[in-house]
Structure 1
Amino acid sequence: MDSLSINSLLEDLKNPDETVREHATRKLWRIWFKQKGISGLETIDRSQKLLDAGELAEAETVLNQLIKQQPDFAEAWNRRAFLYYSSRKYYKSLADCQKVVEIIPVHFGALHGMGLCYAALGEYGEAIKAFQRALEIQPYSLVNQKLILECTLRIS
């Protein structure tokens, strides 16, 4: 997909119409998941099935191999960040989220993940910054707005 289409979807995330925003969100996720074609998508699906089955080490191995083969596949890094976050390995998750944002600076999911990691580590100021960056991309995101308020309360 060309950058004009992506830019249009990013603008749609700021639309007051919830239906327009939801459509743009789904389409961006689809683009990110399909970045490396069907092979990459199938590998991510396999890792998710392993994660759902509680086979964390196997899921991590699958994602590690995918990242090694395709280090510019942002969603592979993002899925591993989710796996690490789920395992309470917040520093590892944070590093993977940062890698996603290096590859796709507008990846609101990774920015949200960074905020969650910082909050879990008690670094509420950094969490707020990450959630605010996500809100710049998705200004109607109620979850990020709520998390900013929660982190602000923890600081004060």
Structure 2
Amino acid sequence: MSAMRIFMTSILAFSALAVWTTSGTPLLAAEALPQPETASLATPEQQLDSLFAELKKEREEDRARDIANRIRQQWQDSGSATVNLLMQWADKAIADDKKSMALDILDQVIVLAPNYVEGWNRRATLHYQMGNFRKAMSDVSHVLALEPRHFGALAGMASMLEDAGKSELALRAWQQFLDIYPSDRKAQEQLGELAERLAGSRT
């Protein structure tokens, strides 16, 4: 039996465990945060819209970071116990420096849940870490097609564009980031430094 078939058999065998794990044990550190007030809204989409509206208005850095973490928490939950478990396995493989294994797992996440934003985002990050820059950019593009407000993906895109020498496009990506998350200090600094370098190159 091939390794991938064994892997998929394991997924099915652990489906019941996945339900217990995702309901009984926090998946990620962000889930330990207090539940946002927006939890009473009818749908996850409405909750996200409300959180993004708060993030855009908030100018105090720590409060904005808390809102951003709530948004990340919403993104992390795929709505599928199996996919959530696979994401845990991928995180563990990455932590153990087993990047090829993590990539195989994330490939399966995307097959099972092609509209799950964090599956694409996590794979984009892994591709970048592995030096697969074109694949990373392709995955980032999928993230932004699904969720144009994904500030993490915009930051990743800005960094990759700058590395590729496409400073004007990188500047535009940072501007988009700050339009969504205006109080992020690091993004402000990145934008300022890049704008100065571009201005200097034009004189």
Q: TM-score, normalised by structure 1?
A: 0.91
Q: 1:17 aligns with which of 50, 60, 83?
A: 60
SS at match of 2:183: coil
- Paired with 1:58 and 1:104, the residues of 2 have a C-alpha distance of 27
Map of 1:62 onto structure 2: 105
Contact 2:151–2:181 (8 Å) recurs in 1: yes
Map of 1:83 onto structure 2: 126
Figure out how many residues of one structure are paired with residues of the other and give that number: 156
Contact 2:44–2:74 (8 Å) recurs in 1: no
CA offsets, 1:110-147, max 9 Å, x none?
11111111112111111111111111100011121222
Q: 1:141 aligns with which of 184, 199, 202?
A: 184
Once the two structures are TM-superposed, the CA of residue 38 in structure 1 deviates from its matched residue by: 3.1
Contact 2:117–2:143 (8 Å) recurs in 1: yes
Contact 1:12–1:20 (8 Å) recurs in 2: no
Gaps of 5+ in 2: 1-42
- Asked which structure has the greater CA Rg, the reply is 2
Q: 1:74 aligns with which of 117, 124, 145?
A: 117
- Paired with 1:152 and 1:90, the residues of 2 have a C-alpha distance of 24
Q: Any residues of structure 2 matched to 1:101-116 within 5 Å, and which? A: 101-116=144-159
Contact 1:91–1:117 (8 Å) recurs in 2: no
Contact 2:110–2:119 (8 Å) recurs in 1: yes
Gaps of 5+ in 1: none
Give the alignment's Cα RMSD to 1 decimal.
1.6
- Percent of counterpart pairs with the same letter? 27
